[in-house]
């Protein structure tokens, strides 16, 4: 439920348009509040105010947070210029417009959160939030003890030091391959794969099994579930710095 705030934010939260496009609508004189024309995007909108755009009533969307198992071959965007299937195509239309919170590469799979909650998305993705992401990676060859030590020490990649907060070798081994479990906190582009490559490990499969307090659970590729209020509250608790601290 809308708790009050600026008009531009209200329109964006309601799914009318992006924040910038919503502000352009307001300045263009296409928005009224309680029958009065408003051209200031910063104008306050209360819970009981009636907002219209081009004569049509606008009401805020209910906030939704979804946990989805992204299959391989699916991109974590709204659309793809190469014609690959997009993750939003797995979202039922009746849930409204949901957007991926971060990304998983097309050749990676596992937990992807989607939501229409802008502040939550910002808090989860901001580097200062330090929200843990847990990955299982099937790698070749089996990492030696010295390799695990180097993985824990971190490696230099573009953007600085990439250092997992946890590195575990799962047992039993899979022949000349092994499952590694890494916990990262920033979500840089292909970070887990780049850390492994820097240590001579080829990644055959990558599955994200947790994002903050939310786990993949029993979801199978293409399946999803909607987080309840308690789960969303715990997800907020995964953020080291709240949204007001990182804006």
Any idea where the domains of the chain sit in the sequence?
5-58, 65-127+219-246, 132-211
pLDDT at 13 exceeding the cut of 90? no
* Per-residue pLDDT at 187: 84
**Looking at per-residue confidence, does 166 or 93 come out higher?**
166
242 pLDDT band, cuts 50/70/90, is low
* Per-residue pLDDT at 2: 63
Mean pLDDT lowest among 89-98, 105-114, 146-155 = 89-98
Kindly state the helix (H) or strand (E) to which residue 243 belongs, with its residue range. Answer: helix 243-246
246 pLDDT band, cuts 50/70/90, is very low
pLDDT at 4 exceeding the cut of 70? yes
* Per-residue pLDDT at 3: 61
Q: Which of 183, 243, 172, 244 is nearest to 215 (CA)?
A: 183
pLDDT at 186 exceeding the cut of 90? no
pLDDT at 192 exceeding the cut of 90? yes
The set of catalytic residues is 105
What mean pLDDT comes out for the span 11-22?
Answer: 84
**What is the third-level CATH fold of 132-211?**
Alpha-Beta Plaits (3.30.70)
pLDDT at 243 exceeding the cut of 80? no
pTM: 0.80
* Cα(214)–Cα(84) distance, integer angstroms: 27
Mean pLDDT lowest among 10-19, 43-52, 194-203 = 10-19
What mean pLDDT comes out for the span 206-219?
Answer: 98
90 pLDDT band, cuts 50/70/90, is very high
pLDDT at 181 exceeding the cut of 50? yes
Q: φ and ψ at 55, to 5 degrees? A: 80, 0
- Domain 65-127+219-246, CATH class in plain words: alpha beta
Q: Where are the beta strands (DSSP E) in the chain?
A: 5-6, 31-33, 36-37, 44-45, 51-53, 56-58, 65-70, 99-100, 109-115, 133-140, 155-157, 160-162, 166-169, 178-184, 202-211, 214-215, 224-226
245 pLDDT band, cuts 50/70/90, is very low
Domains 65-127+219-246 and 132-211 alike in fold: yes
What mean pLDDT comes out for the span 18-23?
Answer: 88
> What would be the CATH architecture of the domain defined by 5-58?
Roll (3.10)
* Cα(90)–Cα(99) distance, integer angstroms: 12
């Amino acid at each position: 439920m809308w708790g009050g705030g600026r008009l531009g934010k209200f329109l964006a939260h309601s799914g009318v348009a992006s924040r910038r496009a919503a502000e352009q609508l307001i300045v263009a004189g296409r928005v009224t509040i309680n029958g009065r024309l408003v051209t200031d995007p910063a104008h306050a909108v209360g819970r009981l105010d009636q907002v219209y755009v081009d004569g049509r009533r606008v009401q805020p969307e209910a906030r939704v947070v979804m946990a989805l198992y992204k299959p391989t071959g699916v991109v974590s965007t709204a659309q793809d210029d190469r014609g690959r299937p997009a993750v939003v195509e797995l979202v039922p239309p009746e849930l409204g417009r949901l957007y991926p919170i971060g990304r998983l590469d097309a050749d990676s799979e596992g937990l992807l959160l989607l939501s229409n909650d802008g502040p939550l998305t910002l808090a989860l993705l901001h580097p200062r939030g330090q929200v843990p992401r847990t990955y299982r990676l099937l790698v070749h060859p089996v990492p030696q003890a010295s390799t695990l030590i180097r993985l824990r020490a971190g490696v230099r990649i573009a953007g600085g030091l990439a250092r997992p907060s946890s590195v575990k070798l799962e047992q039993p081994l899979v022949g000349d391959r092994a499952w590694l479990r890494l916990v990262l906190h920033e979500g840089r582009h292909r970070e887990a794969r780049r850390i492994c490559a820097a240590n001579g490990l080829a990644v055959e499969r990558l599955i994200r099994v947790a994002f903050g307090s939310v786990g993949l659970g029993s979801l199978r590729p293409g399946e999803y579930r909607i987080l309840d209020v308690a789960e969303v509250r715990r997800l907020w608790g995964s953020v080291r710095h709240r949204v007001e601290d990182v804006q």
